[in-house]
């Protein structure tokens, strides 16, 4: 019997917060170990893309979770710490060693279970020169655009927001790409780009916006409304993967697009790369410490985690995008599943 011993949750993003929130609500003590200096994970950097109405991106959900976890007596939080080792007695977890990111100091936390919720890393498109990222002026990522919009600093990307601009979003950058070992869909980016396009068009109606896609992966109850809004707002949804980006002499960005079976050159002022999700930095080390396996793409293989019977890692659970890329809704579902497994197993941990 574990006599109310805590569950250690690695990662304080949406996944880790949602697991902690669900466990605390059911009276189980937990400790969130987050390597950064704040809770919230990646979502803290994403902009609200509301137009004259909420577009249902779920990003503000993270603030509700932080507030709920912070006000709970059942949850303690260690910021600036990461996992160093796992101590077992036979198959049972005894404790978790954690290390300060800043000083390297180590300490031991009593634990009967561990949840890996260490999230993802956005793809870095400079790995593939094709995209012109960090090489051509005016090419940026959806990550950067979110940060500029969120901080109200868009002028560092567009010097005069009042001028008419042509902007293109390129989908599936670093996803669905066998050549870089990422032959999977990151699932969040079609919706997130479309919402951002709508937000920009609403804020700067003089901007002309195109979105180039392989096929639009937009699901959920807002899907129909988003597509309808895109059409009514004149956002050009263009199926096709544009060719290499070239900077013309006047600084504009030129691409080749196939139109009616013919190659057509088009020019844009700015190109936004919708970068996919890659395994988090340090994933190998977390997996090794916890005794988990990684799948072919480097995410945690879910068949080796979960409830007690899922050897070889009893007492170790997985939640969120460290197991599979996805949006916030999918992350919340996965966190709910992890919490339900822990609740079912708790008396035997």
Ligand X SMILES: Cc1cc2nc3c(=O)[nH]c(=O)nc-3n(C[C@H](O)[C@H](O)[C@H](O)COP(=O)(O)OP(=O)(O)OC[C@H]3O[C@@H](n4cnc5c(N)ncnc54)[C@H](O)[C@@H]3O)c2cc1C
256 is a contact residue toward ligand SF4 (CB under 6 A): no
Rounded Cα distance between 240 and 242, Å, is 6
Q: Would you say 186 and 276 are in contact if contact means Cβ atoms under 8 Å apart?
A: yes
Q: Is 34 helix (H, G, I), strand (E, B) or coil?
A: strand
Residue 238 structure tokens: 């263009």
From ligand SF4, ligand X, none, interface partner of 331 (C-beta below 5 to 8 A by class): ligand X
* Closest C-alpha to 149, from 199, 210, 193, 194: 199
Rounded least distance, CB 217 to ligand SF4, Å: 4
Q: Label residue 337 exposed, middle or buried (CB < 10 Å: 0-12, 13-18, 19+).
A: middle
Rounded least distance, CB 252 to ligand SF4, Å: 24
189 is a contact residue toward ligand SF4 (CB under 6 A): yes
Among 28, 168, 172, 192, binds ligand X (CB under 6 A): 192
15 is a contact residue toward ligand X (CB under 6 A): yes
How many Cβ atoms are within 10 Å of 104's Cβ, its own excluded? 8
171 is a contact residue toward ligand X (CB under 6 A): no
Among 74, 111, 142, 253, binds ligand X (CB under 6 A): 142
170 is a contact residue toward ligand X (CB under 6 A): no
38 is a contact residue toward ligand SF4 (CB under 6 A): no
- The number of helices, as runs of H, and strands, as runs of E, in the chain is 7, 18
279 is a contact residue toward ligand X (CB under 6 A): no
Rounded Cα distance between 192 and 287, Å, is 29
* Closest C-alpha to 195, from 42, 325, 56: 56
Residue 253 structure tokens: 């960005």
Q: Which stretch binds ligand X (CB under 6 A): 4-12, 228-236, 241-249, 293-301?
A: 4-12
* Closest C-alpha to 78, from 134, 124, 32, 43: 32
314 is a contact residue toward ligand X (CB under 6 A): no
- DSSP character at residue 157: T
Rounded least distance, CB 50 to ligand SF4, Å: 4
10 is a contact residue toward ligand X (CB under 6 A): yes
227 is a contact residue toward ligand SF4 (CB under 6 A): no
56 is a contact residue toward ligand SF4 (CB under 6 A): yes
46 is a contact residue toward ligand X (CB under 6 A): yes
Residue 102 structure tokens: 């800043």
Rounded Cα distance between 173 and 30, Å, is 37
57 is a contact residue toward ligand SF4 (CB under 6 A): yes
Q: Which is nearer to ligand SF4, 49 or 95 (CB)?
A: 49
- DSSP character at residue 185: -
Rounded least distance, CB 47 to ligand SF4, Å: 8
Rounded Cα distance between 165 and 51, Å, is 19
Rounded least distance, CB 190 to ligand SF4, Å: 3
118 is a contact residue toward ligand X (CB under 6 A): yes
82 is a contact residue toward ligand X (CB under 6 A): yes
Residue 251 Cα to chain centre, angstroms: 32
From ligand SF4, ligand X, none, interface partner of 83 (C-beta below 5 to 8 A by class): ligand X
174 is a contact residue toward ligand X (CB under 6 A): no
229 is a contact residue toward ligand SF4 (CB under 6 A): no
Question: What is the crossing angle of helices 223-232 and 189-203, to 10°?
Answer: 40
Contact residues for ligand SF4, defined by CB under 6 A: 48-50, 54-60, 171-172, 175-176, 185-187, 189-190, 214, 217, 274, 276
């Amino acid at each position: 019997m574990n006599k109310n011993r805590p569950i250690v949750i690695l990662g304080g993003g949406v996944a880790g917060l949602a697991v902690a929130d669900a466990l605390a609500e059911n009276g189980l003590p937990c400790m969130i170990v987050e390597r950064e200096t704040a809770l919230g994970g990646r979502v803290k950097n994403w902009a609200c893309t509301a137009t004259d109405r909420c577009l249902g991106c779920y990003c503000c959900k993270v603030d509700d979770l932080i507030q709920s976890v912070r006000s709970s007596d059942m949850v303690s939080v260690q910021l600036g710490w990461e996992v160093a080792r796992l101590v077992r007695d036979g198959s049972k977890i005894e404790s978790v060693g954690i290390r300060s990111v800043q000083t390297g100091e180590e300490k031991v936390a009593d634990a009967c279970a561990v949840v890996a919720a260490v999230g993802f890393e956005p793809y870095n498109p400079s790995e593939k020169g094709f995209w012109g990222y960090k090489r051509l002026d005016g090419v940026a990522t959806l990550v950067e655009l979110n940060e500029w919009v969120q901080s109200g600093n868009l002028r560092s990307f567009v010097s005069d927001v009042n001028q008419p601009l042509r902007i293109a979003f390129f989908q599936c950058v670093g996803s669905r790409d066998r050549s870089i070992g990422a032959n999977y869909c990151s699932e969040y980016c079609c919706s997130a780009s479309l919402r951002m396009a709508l937000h920009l068009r609403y804020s700067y109606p003089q901007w002309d916006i195109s979105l180039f896609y392989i096929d639009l992966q937009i699901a959920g109850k807002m899907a129909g409304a988003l597509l309808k809004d895109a059409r009514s707002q004149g956002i050009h949804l263009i199926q096709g993967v544009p060719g290499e980006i070239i900077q013309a002499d006047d600084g504009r960005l030129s691409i080749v697009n196939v139109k009616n079976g013919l190659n057509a050159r088009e020019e844009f002022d700015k190109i936004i790369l919708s970068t996919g999700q890659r395994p988090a930095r340090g994933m190998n080390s977390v997996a090794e410490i916890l005794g988990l396996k990684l799948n072919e793409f480097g995410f945690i293989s879910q068949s080796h985690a979960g409830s007690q019977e899922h050897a070889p890692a009893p007492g170790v659970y997985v939640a969120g995008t460290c197991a599979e890329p996805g949006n916030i809704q999918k992350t919340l579902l996965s966190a709910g599943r992890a919490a339900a497994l822990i609740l079912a197993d708790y008396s035997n941990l």
